[in-house]
Structure 1
Amino acid sequence: MLPMCLFATTFYPLSVYPEAVRPLIQVLPLYHSIQLVREPALGHLGWDLLIPVVYLLAFGSIAMHVATRRMTRTMLR
């Protein structure tokens, strides 16, 4: 959890990190959550906020599906 907090632009903007690391940072779910909080707080509302929403909904749906399947298998044993 600590590395995700350090690298997900919680404390520093994305431009601070090396170019090779930026795609890895942009895959983190915390990065998208921070975007959804930071952008409206700075007055930047627009359709570009739809990307983090869709990403988080997809990531959450997949995680819920995996967790439900694992829990069902564990309960049926």
Structure 2
Amino acid sequence: MEIKTFGKITEIVNKEIELAFPMNLAELKTTLEEQFPLLKTLMYSIAINDELISDEDYMIIQPQSIALMPPFSGG
């Protein structure tokens, strides 16, 4: 599994992350923020297998990729 980071998040998440699945989105965020406390200070989105997920109860079984993305705007 690959964890992609973008923008300022790349500076914060600067090491390999070990995660055990299944877990829901809320558990993933808690785990990441325990390992990288500065994430708590940022707004960021999480994409699982290239799909943005916002439902905290969304169950992540065995992801191929996880992306942590800062806020962005379209145009």
TM range (shorter): under 0.3
TM-score, normalised with respect to structure 2:
0.24
Q: Bigger radius of gyration, 1 or 2?
A: 1
Q: Larger strand proportion, structure 1 or 2?
A: 2
Q: Larger helix proportion, structure 1 or 2?
A: 1
Greater relative CO, 1 or 2 (CA 8 Å, sep 6+): 2
